[in-house]
């Protein structure tokens, strides 16, 4: 893994020059790829792009990779003030890897003789946890293959969205904003449909609300039913239809009706799948069985309420 290890040094050296300072916490490499965890105050995609461009220039320059030995970390830091080192792990003698005049890092791993052997480095994924960033990368032929694949993906997405690549990011941002707005509107409509369109039946002092809702947001319906159950001891049986998805939601504010057990019984009869708790449960059914499952749920509730 000499190429991968050396390429990581070059990338971190580039990022260090852009950020001013950073700490490398962990490095893992395998054939053609690797990952590094760094601690830094922030990290933008623009900074990563600059670091990759700088790193690939250094690789193309085919700089010599040298090694130096010191009796202590303090001695090494005096010789190379910009030295990167995991101080907590270093005791005694120190080996420093220098990428000719560009980067200095305390390291015990194997490296190539010249940076050109790395051919190319490409960041493939970035994630953040606390104050640390994990950066995944590919090296050499694998980096080239990944670059072509990502380029092809961008071209494909550009074609699908009908947006030139130069406007792709803006297009996606606008689409996300529009989608969030539509989700909010759908949530409002879904809540209103629960409140206004269900049919009411009375069993003494207990009311059963039932009906079919099409094209609603299931999470909003569940949330709204939960809110209503906090206010009264009503019961709900709601058929939910979205595209090719068919579900039955049961809500119970009456201790005589266990929503989870009722959905399990109905699911067993009509080969559905479901789960939940005593108050709210939901089951999935086919297009051919969901109406029958809905009617069976109502029948079971009616029977339970009539028995006491």
pLDDT, tens digit (0-9, with 9 covering 90-100), for 25-54: 999 999 999 999 999 999 999 999 999 999
pLDDT value of position 133: 97
Q: Is 287 left (phi over 0), alpha (psi -120 to 50) or beta?
A: alpha
Residue 270 resides in a domain: yes
Residue 301 resides in a domain: yes
pLDDT, tens digit (0-9, with 9 covering 90-100), for 73-100: 999 999 999 999 877 777 789 999 999 9
Q: Count other Cβ atoms within 10 Å, centred on residue 45.
A: 10
Same domain, 13 and 75: yes
CA distances to 24, 69, 76, 87, 100 from 72, rounded to whole Å, are 19, 9, 6, 11, 21
Same domain, 133 and 82: yes
Same domain, 34 and 135: yes
Count of domains for the chain = 2
Same domain, 153 and 203: no
Last residue of some domain: 146, 161, 176? 161
Residue 176 resides in a domain: no
CA distance 274 to 225: 17
CA nearest neighbour of 89 among 102, 108, 71: 108
pLDDT, tens digit (0-9, with 9 covering 90-100), for 161-209: 999 999 999 999 999 999 999 999 999 999 999 999 999 999 888 999 9
Same domain, 191 and 148: no
Same domain, 204 and 296: yes
pTM of the model: 0.77
33 contacts 137 by C-beta, under 8 angstroms: yes
For residue 146, give the CATH number of its domain: 3.30.980.10
Percentage of the chain lying above the pLDDT 90 cut: 89
Same domain, 139 and 199: no
For residue 293, give the CATH number of its domain: 3.10.310.40
Mean residue pLDDT of the chain comes to: 95
For CA atoms 141, 142, 145, 148, the dihedral sign is negative
Which residues have CB under 8 Å from 202's CB, separation 6+? 208
CA distance 305 to 233: 12
pLDDT value of position 308: 58
- DSSP structural state of residue 84: B
Residue 172 resides in a domain: no
Residue 276 pairs in a beta bridge with 281
pLDDT, tens digit (0-9, with 9 covering 90-100), for 244-284: 899 999 999 999 999 999 999 999 999 999 999 999 999 99
Residue 277 resides in a domain: yes
Same domain, 31 and 73: yes
Residue 175 resides in a domain: no
Task: Pick the more confident residue, 108 or 44.
Answer: 44
Same domain, 75 and 151: yes
Same domain, 10 and 137: yes
* Tokens 């303090």 -> residue: 74
Same domain, 7 and 146: yes
Same domain, 132 and 279: no
Residue range(s) defining the domain that contains residue 146: 2-161
Q: Count other Cβ atoms within 10 Å, centred on residue 38.
A: 21
Q: Six-digit token pair at 98?
A: 């220098």
By three-state DSSP, how is residue 163 classified?
Answer: coil
């Amino acid at each position: 893994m000499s190429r991968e290890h050396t390429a990581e040094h070059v990338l971190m050296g580039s990022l260090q020059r852009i950020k001013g300072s950073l700490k490398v916490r962990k490095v893992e490499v395998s054939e053609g790829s690797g990952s590094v965890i760094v601690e830094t105050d922030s990290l933008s995609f623009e900074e990563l792009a600059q670091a990759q461009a700088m790193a690939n220039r250094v690789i193309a320059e085919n700089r010599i990779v040298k090694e130096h030995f010191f009796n202590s970390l303090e001695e090494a830091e005096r010789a190379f003030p910009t030295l990167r080192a995991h101080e907590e792990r270093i005791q005694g003698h120190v080996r420093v890897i220098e990428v000719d005049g560009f980067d200095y890092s305390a390291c015990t791993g194997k490296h190539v003789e010249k940076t050109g052997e790395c051919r190319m480095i490409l960041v493939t994924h970035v994630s953040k946890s606390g104050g640390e960033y994990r950066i995944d990368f590919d090296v050499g032929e694998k980096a080239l293959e990944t670059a072509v694949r990502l380029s092809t993906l961008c071209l494909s997405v550009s074609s699908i969205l009908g947006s030139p690549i130069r406007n792709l990011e803006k297009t996606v941002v606008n689409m996300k904003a529009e989608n969030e707005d539509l989700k909010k509107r759908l949530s409002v409509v879904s809540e209103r449909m629960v409140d206004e369109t269900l049919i009411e039946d009375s069993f003494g002092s207990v009311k059963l609300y039932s009906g079919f809702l099409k094209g609603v947001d299931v999470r909003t319906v569940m949330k709204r039913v939960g809110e209503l159950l906090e206010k009264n001891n009503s019961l709900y049986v709601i058929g939910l239809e979205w595209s090719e998805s068919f579900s039955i939601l049961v809500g119970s504010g009456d201790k005589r009706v266990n929503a989870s057990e009722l959905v399990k019984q109905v699911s067993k009869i009509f080969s559905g799948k479901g789960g939940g708790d005593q108050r709210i449960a939901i089951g999935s059914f086919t297009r051919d069985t969901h109406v029958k499952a809905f009617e069976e749920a109502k029948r079971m509730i009616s029977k339970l309420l009539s028995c006491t």
